[in-house]
Structure 1
Amino acid sequence: MSGKIRGGLRARKQAICRKAQRRHINFYERCAHWSFDRSESTTPIHWHRERWVLAGTALMVTLLSGFIMPAWATAMKPAPTAEAHTLLPLPLPKLPAVNPAVSTVDDWQVVRVQPGQTLSDIFSGRGLSLTDLQKVMDAAGDAKSALHNIHPGQEFDFLLGPGGSLRGFRFDKDQANRAIVRLDGPQPTLALQPRDMDVREEVAHGVIRSSLYAAGDQAGLSALMVGKLADLFKYDIDFVQDLREGDSFTVIYDDIYRDGARYGEGDIVAAEFVNQGKRYTAYRFKKEDGSYGWFSEDGRPLQKSFLRIPVDFTRISSTFTAARMHPILGRMRAHKGVDYAAPMGTPIHAAGDGVIKYRGWERGYGNFVLIQHSKDISTAYGHMSRFAAGERVGQHVKQGQIIGYVGMTGLATGPHLHYEFRVDGVQRNPQTVTLPKPEPLPAAQMAKFKATVVKPELARLEQIDQRIKLARSNTPNTDN
């Protein structure tokens, strides 16, 4: 009975297999050659598409396991325990209380004076009234004298509050001090703040090619410094007629720095001018009275007793001569002075210290001034358009003081100054007359001048000359 049952089961299994084979006939046809039998009679495995699929699947599973397992292991780690810290209180210094309503830095607004502006114009330009200006003037005290004559380029600082109200005003009392007016307290206050002043010496050398100002510009000098150089030597050199190409100059001068920024030119310390082969020198020296003067190497003041030319002229229209055809009278007559043509209204200066002996109308001369300088020397000035205000006969005048203005009154065909130099009442040629030399320094000052000024500054000038000559000798000649 059991044998029948086992036979029936086998028959049933075989029937199921045949049914599965018929249903999956395509699969069995493709895979019939697969075998794991390694007997010699078995045909070797060939890598068909199915084998490549199985191998790729196995490789992918292996790679995924390599990534997933470490990540899983990391995730399973317990979270690290935070390290405990203990805070200890430390005493700190107390800071001063700060009022947030008060600004620690004042916001000063700088205004630069433009040509033609007045102080009231500047105040109104900031939205301020004349009352504000008067408050500043009242609070400035003695410093307000610096506000009476302002000039282009000068700076004023304004401190404005809410609504544009004036809280402070700053200005230069003088070169070395700043005045600060504050109006934001119970009462206006004035404080003077010293400026950090620094003087640095500079050196310049120039050679005349066309004009003194062109040579000065090429040497790095400002027009103001060139003017100072010309003023030093104007008593010895006529820069209109005497200047020649090849003339040269060397200048040692001060440059002034204020609060670290260049402020402007100072004075000339020492200078040398070679004109037509003749050498002139100038040295600054502090005199016994505390004032400074400029002296030549022999200790004589550069400022001579007389100006050679007392007016800034454009040309000489008539020279000193014994016979000249008079342009109005039409006949030959002596011309016992020099005519300096200049624009109408040009200032005329006193040639030297003296006393006005005559001031009025003189036949042929028009408006005329006569100045007595000493017992035997006098100077005369004719054809003025008008006299300087406030001068009268008997009044003492200083050299360079304005005594009148160029015109063409009297017998004149154009605006000019007729200038005469008289010795014992006799006219001499102003261009060639020997002018009296000024007195040299007293003996004690002369010794100090020679030792402390001339010796060191002369050595510096000679050093500069040697460097210039060496530089010229090393410069190749390109004229050929």
Structure 2
Amino acid sequence: MTQPPQTSPDDAHHQAIRQHNLRAAAENTANEQRFADPQDAGARFPFNGRWTRRDWAHASLFATLGALVIGLVPGFSNAMRASEHAPTTTLSLPLPPLAVAPAKAAAQRSWDLVKVESGQTLGAIFEARGIPAATLHQLLDASKDRQALTRLRPGAELGFDQAGDGRLVAFRYDRSDTQRVELSLAGDKVAEKLVERPVEVRTAVVSGKVGKSLFHSARKLGLSPAVINTLTDDVFKYDIDFDRDVTSGDRFSVVVEQTWREGELIKSGPVTAAVFTAKGKPFTAIRFDRDGKAEYFTAEGRPLKKSFIRSPIQYARLSSRFGTRRHPVLGTSRMHKGVDYAARTGTPIMAAGDARVVSAGWQGGYGNAVVLDHGRGYTTLYGHMSRLGNIKRGQRVSQGQVIGYVGSTGMSTGPHLHYEFRINGVHRNPLQHTMPPPEPLGGAALAQFRKQTAPALERIREVEEIIYATVPAKPSKDDPQVAAASAPGGKKG
């Protein structure tokens, strides 16, 4: 007789758990089948037909959120409606052809500007920029200004347009104040373009004090070196010794023509009128054309140009005066028949007046010397020169022409100019002798002179009244003042 297998208590417990799980799975399956029918949905979510307070709260919340979405998103509802009702149509339209880059774009060049320095040549400038000499010769051969380009003036402005590899694309320079030339390179061809640059000429009054230096103060006010040299070496050289007669408190006023181009001052001159007050004494100069030649006259119509200039050498120190003295070489007391100007060796020496060369060469104790005959019994001698100028005996020289250079030849202890002034062979002191005044303007010329120059003098007077009536009692020496105004009659070019 076979006995049934005996079960342990653990096995009975596991069996009970397994049966319970099977019954739960069967019930879940029956529920899913029952709720699959929509009609039985109410059994899953029972609703008795009345909204509770929670239901109304949920409905209000969802309604508010919907209104916010519609209000905050512009065009939301319109876009939705448009997408639902607006028909869409696709058209095939011809496109315009793509624009080709215009050739004018090449005209917008990137110019690299270079200012010519003293001693620089065009070849050196091209070499410094890495441009081959063959390119330079190509430009020179194509340009009408070959000679001018090979003799550049310091300060001239050149323009270069170079490609990324250094190749020269275009080159420009100024032919004149009103014309600029652009040379464009394309292979072996060079195209020239002429650009007109209009200028405007204005008349201005510039006024200031000398300060520590006339040149420094005048340059600070905008006067060019050429204008300053006109004042010192041409206009007032007969009446004012700028080495000894000018002090820091002296002042100057100049009526000058200024040439402007594209808002930039490019040059000044000539001087139309000027007043220089030295040690409280005013000296006036007015430019006027007489017989087709420009000259400077006083306010009364007398020419400023004298028969002789006061000093035949510029920027020199008076080292020995006229009169008895002890000779520095011989050691004896004797008459010094001239005046000495100490200056560096090589300083130019000018003819004191229009004259004929009597002699030029070695003259004993005078060393290298020149004697000039000015006519009417007046002669001058210039001694101890290091070398003579480009002159010879019998030649005519004009006032201010260089006839030699300072040295220390003959009986001399150092570089200087020995200058003698003689009348009918008699030595006179050149610092004290008064020359006869030149012939003044008269008649119709004087009337025209006064009519033409009166506005310039009046403008100087007005400017000086404005400036110097309000300056402090002790102004700074380095504080020049300027007044510039357009004067009637300005012209445009």
TM-score by length of 1: 0.74
Aligned partners of 1:66 and 1:181: how far apart in 2?
Answer: 78
Q: CA RMSD in A?
A: 3.8
2:86 to 82, 85, 107: 82
Aligned partners of 1:69 and 1:246: how far apart in 2?
Answer: 90
| 1:280 equivalent in structure 2 | 283
Q: Structure 1 residue 343: deviation in Å?
A: 0.6
**Aligned partner of 1:392: which letter?**
K
Q: Structure 1 residue 309: deviation in Å?
A: 0.7
Q: What does 1:193-342 align with in structure 2 at a 5 Å threshold?
A: 193-208=195-210, 210-213=212-215, 215-216=217-218, 221=223, 225-231=227-233, 232-244=235-247, 246-289=249-292, 292-321=294-323, 323-342=324-343
**Unmatched 5+ residue regions in structure 1?**
1-53
User: What is the identity percentage for the equivalent residue pairs of Structure 1 and Structure 2?
Assistant: 40
Q: Structure 1 residue 228: deviation in Å?
A: 3.5
Contact 2:357 2:394 in 1 (8 A): yes
**Aligned partner of 1:308: which letter?**
R
Deviations 1:101-151 (A, max 9, x none): 97243443322223442221101112223333333333333x334334434
- The alignment status of 1:422 with 2:425, answered yes or no, reads no
Q: Structure 1 residue 458: deviation in Å?
A: 1.8
| 1:465 equivalent in structure 2 | 464
**Aligned partner of 1:264: which letter?**
K
**Aligned partner of 2:112: which letter?**
Q
Distance 1:410 1:55, change over 3 A: farther
**Unmatched 5+ residue regions in structure 2?**
1-50, 71-75, 476-493
Aligned partners of 1:76 and 1:179: how far apart in 2?
Answer: 66
Contact 1:196 1:260 in 2 (8 A): no
**Aligned partner of 1:431: which letter?**
L
Contact 1:197 1:259 in 2 (8 A): yes
* Count of residue pairs the alignment pairs up: 416
Aligned partners of 1:308 and 1:194: how far apart in 2?
Answer: 46
Aligned partners of 1:384 and 1:297: how far apart in 2?
Answer: 39
| 1:407 equivalent in structure 2 | 407
Contact 2:207 2:464 in 1 (8 A): no
- The alignment status of 1:64 with 2:61, answered yes or no, reads yes
SS at match of 1:200: strand
SS at match of 2:138: helix
Q: What does 1:170-185 align with in structure 2 at a 5 Å threshold?
A: 170-184=172-186
**Aligned partner of 1:471: which letter?**
T
Aligned partners of 1:409 and 1:384: how far apart in 2?
Answer: 6
Contact 2:205 2:460 in 1 (8 A): no
Structure number with the bigger relative contact order (C-alpha 8 A, sep ≥ 6) is 2
**Aligned partner of 2:158: which letter?**
F
Deviations 1:258-295 (A, max 9, x none): 23322233332221122233321112234443x54322
SS at match of 1:254: strand
Q: Structure 1 residue 238: deviation in Å?
A: 0.9
Contact 1:206 1:218 in 2 (8 A): no
**Aligned partner of 2:138: which letter?**
K
Aligned partners of 2:296 and 2:238: how far apart in 1?
Answer: 12
Distance 1:306 1:148, change over 3 A: farther
Q: Structure 1 residue 317: deviation in Å?
A: 1.1
**Aligned partner of 1:63: which letter?**
S
After alignment, is 306-315 or 340-349 more displaced? 306-315
SS at match of 1:373: strand
Distance 1:358 1:181, change over 3 A: farther
Contact 1:201 1:254 in 2 (8 A): yes
